[in-house]
Amino acid sequence: MHRMNEFATTAFLRLLPGRLLPGRTGVVCLLSGMLCLAAPGQVQQGGKQAADTAEKKRIANEPVPIAPPGIGTAAPVDPKSYKIGSEDVLRIQVWKEPELGGLMTVRPDGIITVDLVGEIQASGLTPDQLTQKLKEEYAKLINNPIVIVSVHQVRSKKYYLSGGLMRNGEVPLVVPTTVMEALSIAGGFTEFANKKKVVILRGDKRYFFNYNEVAKGKKLEQNIYLENGDFIIVN
């Protein structure tokens, strides 16, 4: 059957006028008539390729979903100012030496254990400072090491939400955060919450925050920055 199709196609092409050029209507019509001479498998394959191409274009044009914080992404900390603390999860990368890097948690004593280097004090350093420290250590073993240290997850600094808020519980203190910003992160107040007397507990100290006043631009000194371990309580 395939040989018959080839013979018929060759004979048909010999009948085409030499003066007809590609793109002319005559050739389009004549070539469209040749579809019946093609093997069924060729038509099916062409249709499948067209469908695959269309599907690839559809996927390429779809918006890329954004991963939630802490899932495959670094925490949004400033590598020049953020101080690493105990329980923080760090990602260490050494260029062309993937076996030397990975995720590691800072121990309660502030130490991390790094392959080939050993124990390094991480707590109290910024990611940039730790990067420089590791670079100096790896330079003893590797020529011109390129090291990157990032905070994968903040666990050492946190504040707590309690009471008449849409969200209660522990919240990582990743970046400098005011009381107003924390209340927004909590999703706002519940229906019968007392917005005029929000309490911030800091050790043995108490600070009071009147949401209605601050929202109107009054007594803005109440809108303090939170510190590690603060409790925000709404009655």
Per the structure block, which two tokens stand in for 114?
Answer: 């790094």
d(CA 79, CA 74): 11
**Predicted confidence (pLDDT) per residue in 125-168, tens digit:** 999 999 999 999 999 999 999 999 999 999 999 999 999 999 99
pTM of the model: 0.59
Q: How far apart are CA 177 and CA 159, in angstroms?
A: 10
Model confidence pLDDT, tens digit, residues 2-30 = 454 554 455 544 544 444 444 444 443 34
DSSP 225: B
Helix (H) or strand (E) holding 111: strand 111-114
Strands 111-114 vs 102-105: parallel, antiparallel or unpaired:
unpaired
Tell how far CA 51 is from the center of its chain: 31
How many Cβ atoms are within 10 Å of 117's Cβ, its own excluded? 17
> What pLDDT digit, counting tens, does each position of 173-191 carry?
988 999 999 999 999 999 9
* Look-up of token digits 């939170």: 226
Residue 59 confidence (pLDDT) above 90 = no
Residues 128 and 78: their CA atoms lie apart, in Å, by: 9
The overall average pLDDT reported for the chain is 79
Identity (one letter) of the amino acid at 40?
P
Q: What gap in Å lies between CA 10 and CA 185, rounded to an integer?
A: 73
DSSP type of residue 107: P
Please report the pLDDT score of residue 195 as a whole number: 97
Domains of the chain: 2-61 (no CATH), 89-153 (3.30.1950.10), 158-234 (3.10.560.10)
Confidence class for position 76, pLDDT limits 50, 70, 90: confident
96 or 37: which carries more pLDDT confidence? 96
Run of H or E including 118: strand 118-121
| More confidently predicted of 24 and 207 | 207
pLDDT for 47 equals 57
Whole-angstrom Cα distance, residue 158 to residue 226?
9
CA distances from 69 to 29, 83, 108, 126, 143 (A): 58, 19, 23, 20, 35
pLDDT tens digits, one per residue of 86-121: 999 999 999 999 888 899 999 999 999 998 899 999
Contacts of 11 (CB under 8 A, 6+ apart): none
